[in-house]
């Protein structure tokens, strides 16, 4: 069993982390939680204390605890670099929320520090286990659409009144939603050859933080992936649009884990994360006889807890990390390049 400590006890810790760890108590025990305000969730705190979790407000309590196998950082994004650096310098294994850092220089420093101390270091890329993403992988692997030519991925909302007036680059929609979408593309297709960026301030024109993006990632073999996010989309696009040499795949709506967690339906509850049949994707393709086939693809259930399964396999059974250092650097380099110049602009990523 691995002993976990969390830094942070807010919404993300209690929505995207702890519910999944509770399903894995044979592999993990939550030993410590450190947060500046540990009394904001008294009921949640009491339940964890009943299982032996110790709460405190000082990160030094974690650094001094030699029984810990993993520290999970769930703090505001601008604090990630400093917190991770402190933990890795102390030899702690670190799983950290996205966006990890703002620059390639910072991520390289953290990776090097982890190597120096023989420590585990990886981002919590839970959306590699979105049901819609896993199903998209299945469609690609099954060869329904042939060689992929164009992929379009959306993460849209209608939040007209939530614009941030100011802040750092890690508080933009590009670093927030983009960190997930870029990682999904990198995990599927690797480093792109070129990336074209269109980052804009759309909700409040007096704000200084971009809140909308359309980014095109160009790969070899005439393939292009487009990732988009808007906070001003009252009627949503399909989540996935995929075209290839043999056909197309369309999938509406997002992973149901997001909806269920927000309404209090937890992992292990009946029906958790299960897509409704009307939200299944459809592939339209031509077979070897040139027959046009339309096929509904049932959504494969997702499970954000599989990130923890992967961490366990790495720490206990010495398997490769779910998110490699190379993938992490590629993702951060794409994010940084998008924010480093006025949009629209194009960046060459060929070595």
HEC letters along 28-50? EEEEEEECCCCCCCHHHHHHHHC
What distance in Å separates the CA atoms of residue 73 and residue 347, rounded to the nearest whole number? 31
Half-sphere exposure of 163 (CA within 13 A, CB side): 18
Tell me the average pLDDT across 306-324: 98
Model confidence band, residue 96 (pLDDT cutoffs 50, 70, 90): very high
Tell me the average pLDDT across 39-58: 94
What is the reported pLDDT for 291?
Answer: 92
What is the reported pLDDT for 131?
Answer: 97
> Does the pLDDT at position 66 exceed 90?
yes
Structural domains of the chain sorted by starting position, each given as residue range(s) with its CATH number in brackets: 2-124 (3.40.50.720), 127-306+333-348 (3.30.360.10)
Model confidence band, residue 165 (pLDDT cutoffs 50, 70, 90): confident
Tell me the average pLDDT across 153-158: 94
Q: For 195-206, how does the pLDDT look when each residue is reduced to its tens digit (9 = 90+)?
A: 999 999 999 898
Q: Rounded to a whole number, what is the largest CA-CA distance in the chain?
A: 67
Tell me the average pLDDT across 231-250: 95
Model confidence band, residue 283 (pLDDT cutoffs 50, 70, 90): very high
């Amino acid at each position: 069993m691995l002993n976990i400590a969390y830094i942070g006890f807010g919404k993300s810790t209690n929505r995207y982390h702890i519910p999944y760890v509770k399903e894995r108590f044979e592999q993990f025990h939550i030993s410590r939680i450190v947060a500046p305000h540990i009394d904001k969730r008294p009921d949640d705190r009491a339940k964890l204390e009943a299982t032996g979790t110790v709460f405190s407000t000082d990160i030094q309590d974690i650094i001094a605890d030699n029984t810990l196998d993993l520290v999970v950082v769930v703090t505001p994004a601008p604090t990630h670099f400093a917190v991770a650096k402190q933990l890795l310098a102390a030899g702690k294994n670190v799983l950290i929320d996205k966006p990890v850092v703002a620059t390639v220089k910072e991520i390289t420093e953290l990776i090097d520090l982890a190597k120096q101390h023989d420590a585990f270091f990886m981002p919590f890329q839970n959306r590699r286990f979105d049901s819609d993403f896993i199903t998209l992988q299945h469609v690609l692997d099954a060869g329904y659409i042939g060689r992929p030519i164009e992929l379009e991925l959306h993460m849209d909302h209608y939040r007209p009144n939530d614009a941030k007036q100011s802040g750092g680059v890690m508080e933009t929609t590009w670093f927030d939603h983009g960190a997930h979408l870029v990682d999904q593309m990198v995990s599927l297709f690797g480093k792109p050859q070129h990336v074209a960026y269109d980052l804009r301030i759309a909700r409040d024109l007096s704000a200084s933080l971009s809140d909308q993006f359309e980014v095109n990632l160009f790969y070899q073999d005439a393939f292009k992936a487009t990732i988009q996010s808007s906070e001003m989309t009252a009627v949503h696009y399909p989540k996935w649009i995929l075209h290839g040499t043999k056909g197309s795949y369309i999938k509406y709506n997002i992973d149901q884990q997001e909806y269920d967690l927000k309404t209090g339906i937890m992992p292990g509850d009946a029906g958790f994360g299960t897509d409704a049949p009307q939200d299944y994707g459809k592939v339209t393709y031509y077979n070897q006889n040139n027959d046009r086939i339309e096929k509904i693809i049932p959504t494969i259930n997702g499970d954000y807890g599989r990130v923890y399964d992967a961490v366990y396999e790495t720490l206990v059974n010495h398997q490769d990390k779910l998110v490699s250092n190379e993938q992490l650097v590629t993702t951060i380099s794409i994010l940084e390049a998008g924010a480093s110049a006025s949009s629209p602009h194009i960046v060459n990523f060929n070595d």
